[in-house]
Amino acid sequence: MADEKRKIRIATCSLAGCFGCHTSMLDIDERLFDLLEMVEFDRTPFTDIKHCGPCDIGIVEGGVSNAENAHVLKEFRENCKVLVAIGSCAITGNVPALRNNIDLWDCFQEVYLYDPGTEGKQIPNDPELPLPFDKVYPIYEVVKVDYFLHGCPPPANAIWKFLTDLIQGRQPETGHELLRYD
Amino acid sequence: MMQSPDLPDIEQRIALLCERHGCEPRRLLQILIDVQEIYTFIPPQALTAIARHLPLPRVSVEGVAGFYSFLSLEPAGQYRILFSDNVTDRMLGNEELMRQFCNKLWLEPGKVSEDELVSADFTSCTGMCDQGPAALINGWPVTRLNRERIDLIADLILAKSPVASWPPTLFEVNDNIRRTDRLLDESFEPGSAIKAAVTRGAEAIFTELKLSRLRGRGGAGYKTAEKWITCRNSPAPARYIVCNADEGEPGTFKDRVLLNRLADTVFEGMTVGARLLSSAKGFLYLRGEYRYLLEKLEEILARRREAGLLGSNILGEPGFDFDIEIHLGAGAYICGEESGMIESLEGRRGKPRNRPPYPAQHGYLDQPTVVNNVETFACAAMIAVHGGKWFGETGTWESSGSKILSISGDCHWPGIYEYPFGVSVQKILEDCGAQEPYAVQVGGPSGILVSWQEFERSISFEDLPTAGAFTIFQRGRDILEAVRNYAHFFAHESCGFCTPCRVGTQLQKKIVDKIANGHGTASDLEELKHLGHLMRTLSHCGLGHAAPNPVLDMLQKFPGAYEQKLTSLSFEPAFDLDAALATARRITGRDDPSAHLP
């Protein structure tokens, strides 16, 4: 076992996203076994590890919507040699960023103070809750990102091709056939 | 969305209007411009009515109306003021004037006042760089703005005085011709070039054109004779002549002066072209910013028809029929691209076509079409009269003749300067009284940013090709601010058709902003280079190819402009993360450690 090659270590997380990209990752189905031959997982929603340690590859789904997202993202950047933005939310902000046109103040008032369904009429202020940013940001505005894998979500085959290229030390090439939506 | 007002007679008015334009779909942009002149904006009912009359799908009508930035689909006020936002206007303080104007009228830039009286916004360069800061008021140019003029304008608006009765001095536009050469020196007698074409015959004029080595004056420098011959040799039932007066390149204003002074020569050049190519129809595509010249130009066309220089049997020559129609643009830089212009002439969004085939083979209505710059047609007329040898005597071998430059920025005498090709940047700077020049943007944002170390370079197709813009920055000017202005310009003017340009220009703008705001890093510079390469190689048309030029030139030649603004070698967020939490802190009243980010 001693001379067996060290496995590539991968961490993943979902920030302001819907876990759709993670679901698409699982859609590689039986190839998951092949993947586990080559890699081991650090922090991911699959392992339930809470903090990311030193890794080779970090995969981030979702944009940056609140302070906690920023902490997690920075932790990933500090620990991962290669950081990948996966899916439209991480790359552009996408659906969560639709709130960017609404003033945060108006939004909170509407939801917690004016909406007839709310009780107590108080804006939550527990320090346990992460504070939201004024806007949702794509992750490249907060940290340096090495690769972008497009799609909402990117199809499983594209994720598989991307990961195997990266793991085997090739420049990832997904190409038109794997990433077309027309 | 605002409530659209009740307009009881709109149906009849639109019906009449469409009829006046022959209910031709290709006249759609002209119809929309007329609608806006009547209602100050384009009401939704008008879109529906136009769609029914032309007939076109309503979505196409709305698509065209939404494309041109001078057309407004929402009420923009009885008075709409658009401040020209070229870098020269910036240097002359247009932002401060905008603030003053807005404060005085209780306005927010980009929004219409509550009483729907007035709105103020910025627009791309209006071609008044030698007499800025400039603005357009309901489409009419006002020049040399200052605090007093802004006060006066604000008072006139508050008094609801009609723009037509405002003091004419506000609208004074000067030609500012400072240096003349071959083209502007020579007097021109209307009809003389056509006479030469008729008496000497098409072949002889083609020979003169070849002999002159004339190249297109729009910047790209394609050989005019070659373009015309390609057009003539393309078999077709009809051929068209288009004069490109959509002078949108920021910093360029020589076509405005040529049309004001030498319209006869320009029209004559087009007519000579018509004779050579057997074309019966020509267009002058006049940019919306020069709408104020329309009546004068129409008068000249009418006079030429009366004199037998346009219309049927020109100069009594049986079968020599040619007429020119003026087509107005409405604030879209991309329509200066020849195939985008042809789309616009056909009444569509100004989205460039795939080239090849080039317009000389498949242009307007898919027929062979010659599209040339205003100055090129003026040169063609002079060549028909004086011969190709006369023309080629000046300039260099590769770049024959003279070039009219639009000089603005930091100099004593901004204006129009005509030089033989081959003149050095240094010589021009001396002539126009530039003090301590530091950089010159030659050919506008899509051209070349020339540094003080390169002032020996020459204006010519083989060295510094240009459509005419020559914007001077003196020592102490912030080059990064100028480049930022240009990056915003391209992001605003991208037609949105192809991804490399639509997204690339936005990303480029964001990164340049990031650097200017003090968040830039070395990796952002690398990203700009990478992005520039993608835009240059993958964009659909020249706009995307040229959009990275000022940024890449700055990176290469003006490290001092951005280096001291960089924060680190690695990476920094594009914004202040802690500040981005401030709103939420205020709302929740929290100030605990986890309500902050380092």
Domain CATH code at residue A34: 3.40.50.700
Does 1.10.510.10 match the CATH number of domain B480-565? no
List of chain A residues whose C-beta atoms are within 8 Å of the C-beta of residue B584: 104, 131-134
pLDDT for B248 equals: 94
User: Closest to B589 (Cβ–Cβ): which among A125, A132, A135?
Assistant: A125
Please, which pLDDT band fits residue B574 given cuts at 50, 70 and 90?
Answer: confident
B403-476 to CATH, choices 3.40.50.80, 3.10.105.10, 3.40.640.10, 3.10.20.600 = 3.10.20.600
- Whether residues A143 and B573 touch (CB distance < 8 A) is answered with yes
User: What's the pLDDT score for residue B170?
Assistant: 96
Cβ-contact B240, B277 below 8 angstroms: no
Residue A141 has its nearest CB partner, among B573, B582, B595, at: B573
CB contact under 8 A, A131 and B582: no
Domain containing residue A71:
8-99+136-178
Tens digit of each residue's pLDDT (9 = 90 or more) over A132-154? 999 999 999 999 999 999 999 99
- Helices (H), ranges, B387-439: 388-392, 425-431
Residues B182, B401 contacting (CB under 8 angstroms):
yes
Q: Tell me if A107 is assigned to some domain.
A: no
Residue B156 and residue B169: Cα distance in Å, rounded?
14
Is a pLDDT exceeding 80 seen at residue B1? no
Q: What is the pLDDT of residue B457?
A: 97
Express each pLDDT in B224-281 by its tens digit.
999 999 999 999 999 999 999 999 999 999 999 999 999 999 999 999 999 999 999 9
Interface touch A123/B587, C-beta < 8 Å: yes
How many structural domains are present in chain A? 1
Chain A closest-CA separation from residue B504 CA (Å)? 13
Among candidate residues B466, B469, B536, B475, the one with its CA nearest the CA of residue B500: B536
Looking at residue B284, the DSSP 8-state letter turns out to be E
Q: What pLDDT is recorded for position A178? A: 87
User: What does the mean pLDDT of chain B come to?
Assistant: 95
In the predicted model, what is the mean pLDDT of residues B454-463?
97
- Whether residue A127 and residue B592 make contact (CB cut-off 8 A), yes or no, is yes
Has residue A141 been placed in a domain? yes
pLDDT band at A1 (very low <50, low <70, confident <90, very high): very low
Query: For residue B355, what pLDDT band results from cuts at 50, 70 and 90?
Result: confident
Determine the pLDDT at residue B508.
97
The pLDDT of residue B2 is 46
Q: Which residues pair with B373 in a beta bridge?
A: B244
pLDDT at residue A4, rounded to an integer: 62
pLDDT digits (tens, 9 = 90+) for B529-538: 999 999 999 9
Asked if the model's pLDDT at residue A74 lies above 60, the reply is: yes
% of chain B residues with pLDDT over 70 = 99
Q: From residue B355, give the alpha-carbon distance in Å to each of B133, B243, B363, B513.
A: 37, 19, 10, 33
Q: Is residue A58 part of a domain?
A: yes
Residue range B16-30: mean pLDDT, rounded: 96
pTM of structure? 0.89
| Predicted pLDDT at B492 | 96
Spacing of C-alpha B421 from chain mean position: 23
Predicted confidence (pLDDT) at residue B5 exceeds the cutoff of 70? no
Q: Is B137 left (phi over 0), alpha (psi -120 to 50) or beta?
A: beta
Q: Domain B79-169's class?
A: alpha beta
Three-class secondary structure of residue B448 per DSSP:
strand
* Confidence band, pLDDT 50/70/90 cuts, at residue A120: confident
As a whole number of Å, the CA-based R_g of chain B is 25
User: Does A106 reside within a domain?
Assistant: no
Confidence of residue B400 (pLDDT cuts 50, 70, 90): very high
Assess if CATH 3.40.50.720 describes domain B179-392.
no
Q: Which residue has the tokens 């790359």?
A: A91
Task: Give rounded-to-5 percent helix, strand, coil for chain A.
Answer: 40, 20, 40
Q: Where are the domains of chain B?
A: 10-67, 79-169, 179-392, 403-476, 480-565
Whether the predicted pLDDT of B4 surpasses 90: no
- Residue A36 forms part of a structural domain: yes
Q: Which residues pair with A148 in a beta bridge?
A: A85
Q: What ipTM does this complex have?
A: 0.87
Question: What's the one-letter identity of residue A131?
Answer: L
Across the range B277-292, mean pLDDT stands at 97
